[in-house]
């Protein structure tokens, strides 16, 4: 595989929409690749019944929640490198790539002991023994992969910040292709010597193989000649001041991602689990579609983070506001189209996964809720991406955690326990209310928040917003 230098980007100015799409489209592919891998594996496993894909969905959510703090840190690699790019201090971009990689290595080692508590986690949810066994298998194999996921993400965020997102598209295609090729024998047993697959374990290993291929490609481009000479990607030293700055701003982002992913994981495996295995299976299948529609919006959010970070680096807060507004309008149009598809084709979409009429009926109902919820979620995702671009992460994280746990988890659990006759309607009404409130908060926080009171000048240093003393104490006096 050759990782030759990419051609210099054209200096011709792009229209705002074209600039957004140019950055977002490949990033969408990278963000969607993990979801697509799970979608494909869930479809293959659905041929074995509803228990195997339900186990993979549950374990995938729990596993992602356990490593999601690291993803929050990786998002800030984009923001920091983008601000350096906006100041035209190109060779300083590479140092943020490496601080991200140093964190990824330490974090991947730190989560390995969680393999020992995989079974107790699912037993605590009260799942049937047969389901717990499959969930445990998948989670233990999943926990071998964080170095791949975080390392590849750091490289992708670095390439996005330096205006070279197209490599993410190629990496995503290769990763998904490798996943499919590996899943055919590992899950379905096609071409395997034994003639049969390995079910849930095969799906987990197929995803790890796909993640390895995707990460290898991204790391190769992050270290190619252009990256080394222009963007300093061999600037590998551990820099304490830069690392703690990444952590100081990243803590809020990490808390935000962890809180939401863990809350959604509990919602999926505990709250909906109170309504029975049929409801849980239907919710898992619905979420496969919801995730496919969500990931492009999340990719647009990453592009907005990059564009807002560059605008701040250039001393243009007015431009930052316009770029965030454009990202929101584009994502809203996309979400409306997805919502219409969910509503119109809800029964055929469910039939793709299962022939069980009870699961189909509940899943079709859930797709209607997904169609409404994601309109509000687009507002939250885009404006939270903009807030990361200006370094405002801690207060949004606290608000998100309070709302998500208070409404989704505790509110949903209360409704499911005390009003089971409402079925899936009760918890999902709570979810929809949560999405509306959080989306409005994120929008007004960005448009009216404290970052706007700062007077920016081109080349100025990273935005420093007030953070709690415990977080601020992570920064050293030599921070730049």
The answer to whether position 477 is within a domain reads: no
Most confident listed range (263-267, 321-325, 471-475) = 321-325
Average pLDDT over residues 312-336: 87
The answer to whether position 378 is within a domain reads: yes
Average pLDDT over residues 259-288: 83
Between residues 428 and 190, the one the model is more confident about: 428
Average pLDDT of every residue of the chain: 80
The answer to whether position 134 is within a domain reads: yes
Whether the predicted pLDDT of 27 surpasses 60: yes
Give the pLDDT score at 81.
85
Q: Which of 187-201, 301-315, 431-445 has the lowest mean pLDDT?
A: 187-201
Tell me the C-alpha distance between 306 and 453, whole Å.
21
Write phi, then psi, for 285 (nearest 5 degrees): -65, -40
Whether the predicted pLDDT of 205 surpasses 70: yes
Location of structure tokens 């928040």: 449
Whether the predicted pLDDT of 471 surpasses 60: no
Average pLDDT over residues 200-228: 88
The answer to whether position 460 is within a domain reads: no
Q: Which domain holds residue 181?
A: 16-455+468-472
Give the pLDDT score at 182.
87
pLDDT band of residue 140 (cuts 50, 70, 90) is very high
Q: In angstroms, what is the C-alpha Rg of the chain?
A: 22
Q: Which of 5-9, 155-159, 392-396 has the lowest mean pLDDT?
A: 5-9
What pTM, to 2 d.p., does this model score? 0.64
pLDDT band of residue 256 (cuts 50, 70, 90) is confident
Tell me the C-alpha distance between 317 and 175, whole Å.
37
Give the pLDDT score at 63.
84
Whether the predicted pLDDT of 129 surpasses 50: yes
Location of structure tokens 């807002």: 308
The answer to whether position 110 is within a domain reads: yes
Please return the burial class of 17, using the count of CB atoms within 10 Å of its CB with bins 0-12, 13-18 and 19+.
Answer: exposed
pLDDT tens-digit profile of 143-187? 998 888 888 888 988 887 887 777 777 888 888 889 888 888 888
Between residues 405 and 265, the one the model is more confident about: 405
Between residues 134 and 27, the one the model is more confident about: 134
Average pLDDT over residues 339-358: 89
The answer to whether position 284 is within a domain reads: yes
Tell me the C-alpha distance between 209 and 203, whole Å.
10
Structure tokens at 18: 């074209």
Average pLDDT over residues 215-221: 89
List alpha helices for 87-198, DSSP H.
93-111, 118-124, 129-142, 146-161, 166-183
**Number of domains observed in the structure of the chain:** 1
The answer to whether position 243 is within a domain reads: yes
Most confident listed range (242-246, 312-316, 331-335, 472-476) = 331-335
Q: What percent of the chain clears pLDDT 70, i.e. is strictly above it?
A: 87
Q: Which of 28-42, 348-362, 442-456 has the lowest mean pLDDT?
A: 28-42
Give the pLDDT score at 194.
58
Give the pLDDT score at 92.
85
Q: How far is CA 149 from CA 129, 212, 265, 401, 446, in A?
A: 30, 8, 19, 24, 29
pLDDT tens-digit profile of 44-55? 777 777 778 888
Whether the predicted pLDDT of 67 surpasses 50: yes
Give the pLDDT score at 15.
76
In sign, the C-alpha dihedral spanning 398, 402, 408, 409 is positive
The answer to whether position 8 is within a domain reads: no
Between residues 39 and 468, the one the model is more confident about: 39
Give the pLDDT score at 4.
39
């Amino acid at each position: 595989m050759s990782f030759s230098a990419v051609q210099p980007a054209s200096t011709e100015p792009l229209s705002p929409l074209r600039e957004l799409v140019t950055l977002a489209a490949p990033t969408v592919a990278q963000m969607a690749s993990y979801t697509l891998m799970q979608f494909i594996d869930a479809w293959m496993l659905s041929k074995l019944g509803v228990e195997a894909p339900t186990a993979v969905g549950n374990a995938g959510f729990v596993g992602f929640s356990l490593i999601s703090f690291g993803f929050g840190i990786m998002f800030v690699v984009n923001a920091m490198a983008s601000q350096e790019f906006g100041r035209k201090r190109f060779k300083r971009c590479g140092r943020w790539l490496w601080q991200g990689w140093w964190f990824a290595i330490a974090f991947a080692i730190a989560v390995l002991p969680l393999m020992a508590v995989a079974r107790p986690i699912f037993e605590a949810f009260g799942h049937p023994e047969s389901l717990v066994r499959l969930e445990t298998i998948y989670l233990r194999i999943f926990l071998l992969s964080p170095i791949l996921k975080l390392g590849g993400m750091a490289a992708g965020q670095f390439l996005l910040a330096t205006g070279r997102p197209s490599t993410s598209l190629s990496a995503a295609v290769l990763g998904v292709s490798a996943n499919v090729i590996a899943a055919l024998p590992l899950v379905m047993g096609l071409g395997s010597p034994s003639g049969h697959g390995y079910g849930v374990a095969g799906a987990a290993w197929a995803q790890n193989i796909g993640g390895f291929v995707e990460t290898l490609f991204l790391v190769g481009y992050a270290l190619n000649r252009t990256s080394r000479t222009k963007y300093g990607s061999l600037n590998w030293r551990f820099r304490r001041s830069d690392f703690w700055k990444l952590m100081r701003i990243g803590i809020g982002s990490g808390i935000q991602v962890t809180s939401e992913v863990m809350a959604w994981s509990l919602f999926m495996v505990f709250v909906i689990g109170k309504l029975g295995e049929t409801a849980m299976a239907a919710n898992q299948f619905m979420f496969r579609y919801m995730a496919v529609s969500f990931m492009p919006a999340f990719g647009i959010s990453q592009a907005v983070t990059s564009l807002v970070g560059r605008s701040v680096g250039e001393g243009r807060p007015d431009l930052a506001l316009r770029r965030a507004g454009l990202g929101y309008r584009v994502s809203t149009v996309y979400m409306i189209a997805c919502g219409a598809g969910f509503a119109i084709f809800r029964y055929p979409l469910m039939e793709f996964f299962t022939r069980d009429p009870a699961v189909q009926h509940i899943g079709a109902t859930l797709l209607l809720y997904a169609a409404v919820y994601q309109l509000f979620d687009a507002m939250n995702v885009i404006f939270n991406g903009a807030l990361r671009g200006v370094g405002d992460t801690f207060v949004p994280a606290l608000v998100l955690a309070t709302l998500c746990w208070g409404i989704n988890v505790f509110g949903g659990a209360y409704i499911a326990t005390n009003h089971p006759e409402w079925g899936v309607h009760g918890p999902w009404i709570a979810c929809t209310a949560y999405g509306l409130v959080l989306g409005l908060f994120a929008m007004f926080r960005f448009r009216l928040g404290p970052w706007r009171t700062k007077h920016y000048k081109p080349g100025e240093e990273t935005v420093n917003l007030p953070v709690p003393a415990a977080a601020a104490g992570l920064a050293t006096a030599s921070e730049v």
